[in-house]
């Protein structure tokens, strides 16, 4: 513990700092990793290092380096993930961004207003780009619900030229503007593929799989020749589609759909195309209700087992409920 800056207090204070890795999904979020940050003054002072109980193998590492280790450990362990988000402490580190691209992980990382990015007019600061944007470049979008309702900001999304590394693909600068104070926040964004999961083969109507070749994003449909013969389809063993060929036409179509005199019709068409909330069939609803009852009984029986009830009797009860539960789940 020593005096150092902490974002929680917003000032220099006597504290310990750590890097936390949180996993978020539509089902919720949870903490999956943590690494204690040891200041250089500690790691370069052997007696203090030993007194703190830190292993001799622990050397100084920056917060982005700790974050990279946590992410790589999670990915190596099989954690399914496609995007990484982080604040300004991590967005300013080019090595972390390059490592994420190497793992094919898209990212949205906060950067400082002085962050410099490549543009068609040369390298510019992020705040210089924001100052030169026309009014129509900003869109009002909610950042989610807060304590006082939806949190609306104005957003601008600027496409950037490819950076000079082997992981080119799609780079953007995202800018958020507070509609009350005018305060700006900046984010560097990267995605390995724009339309992953949305491209289907026109011959066999299967979803095409994304991959990279020579630094470019491609989609591939692999179809065994025996299947093609059996189904009487004139289908090559491998069909490739370069994403850039799709995106170029897609950008043109979207630009035409959202011009000022067509945007109202486009929004109306998008709203009309939304699927209504599905109505769950009665047999499925009943099966789900019975599943909930099975789960409640399992919880009660396991509690009885923990309390010292006859293991043979309780095990029989649990087996009976599990058999019933398995049958219900197969119908849901």
101-135 residue pLDDT tens: 888 888 999 999 999 988 878 889 999 999 999 98
Query: What is the structure's pLDDT at 265?
Result: 82
Would you list the DSSP string of 197-227?
Answer: T--B-TTT-PBPEEEEETTEEEEEEE--HHH
User: What pTM did the predictor assign?
Assistant: 0.61
Q: What is the mean pLDDT of residues 43-70?
A: 79
Q: State how far the Cα of 247 lies from the Cα of 118, in Å rounded to an integer.
A: 21
Q: Is residue 324 predicted with pLDDT exceeding 50? A: yes
Residues making up the chain, counted from first to last: 332
Q: Is residue 241 predicted with pLDDT exceeding 50? A: yes
Query: What is the structure's pLDDT at 100?
Result: 93
The position carrying tokens 């989609």 is: 219
- Mean pLDDT for all residues in the chain: 79
The position carrying tokens 């030229």 is: 161
Q: State how far the Cα of 286 lies from the Cα of 138, in Å rounded to an integer.
A: 48
Asked if 236 and 223 touch (Cβ cutoff 8 Å), the reply is yes
The position carrying tokens 């991959």 is: 211
> pLDDT tens, 195-228?
666 788 888 888 888 777 776 778 888 888 887 7
Write out the two tokens for 130.
């924001």
Query: What is the structure's pLDDT at 122?
Result: 84
Q: What is the mean pLDDT of residues 14-18?
A: 70
């Amino acid at each position: 513990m020593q005096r150092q800056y902490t974002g929680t207090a917003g000032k220099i204070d006597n504290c310990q700092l750590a890097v936390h890795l949180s996993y978020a999904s539509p089902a919720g979020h949870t903490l999956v990793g943590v690494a204690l940050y040891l200041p250089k003054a500690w790691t370069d002072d052997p007696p203090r290092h030993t007194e703190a109980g830190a292993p001799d193998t622990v050397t100084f590492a920056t917060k982005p380096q700790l974050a990279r280790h946590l992410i790589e450990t999670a990915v190596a362990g099989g954690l399914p993930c496609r995007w990484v988000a982080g604040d300004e402490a991590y967005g300013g580190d080019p090595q972390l961004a390059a490592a994420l691209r190497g793992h094919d992980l898209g990212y949205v990382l906060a950067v400082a207003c002085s962050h410099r990015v490549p543009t068609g007019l040369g390298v510019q600061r992020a705040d210089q780009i924001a100052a030169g944007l026309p009014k129509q470049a900003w869109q009002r979008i909610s950042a989610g619900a807060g304590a006082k309702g939806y949190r609306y900001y104005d957003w601008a999304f600027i496409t950037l030229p490819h950076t000079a590394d082997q992981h080119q693909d799609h780079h953007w600068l995202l800018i958020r503007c507070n509609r009350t104070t005018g305060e700006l926040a900046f984010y560097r964004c990267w995605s390995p593929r724009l339309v992953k999961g949305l491209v289907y083969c026109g011959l066999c109507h299967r979803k095409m799989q994304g991959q990279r070749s020579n630094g470019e994003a491609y989609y591939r449909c692999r179809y065994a020749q025996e299947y093609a013969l059996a189904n009487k389809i004139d289908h090559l063993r491998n069909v490739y589609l370069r994403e850039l060929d799709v995106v170029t036409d897609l950008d043109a179509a979207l630009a035409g759909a959202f011009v000022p005199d067509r945007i109202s019709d486009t929004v109306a068409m998008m709203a009309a195309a939304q699927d209504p909330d599905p109505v769950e069939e009665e047999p499925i609803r009943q099966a789900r209700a019975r599943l909930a009852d099975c789960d409640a009984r399992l919880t009660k029986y396991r509690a009885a087992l923990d309390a010292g009830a006859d293991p043979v009797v309780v095990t029989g009860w649990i087996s009976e409920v599990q058999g019933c539960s398995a049958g219900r789940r197969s119908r849901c």
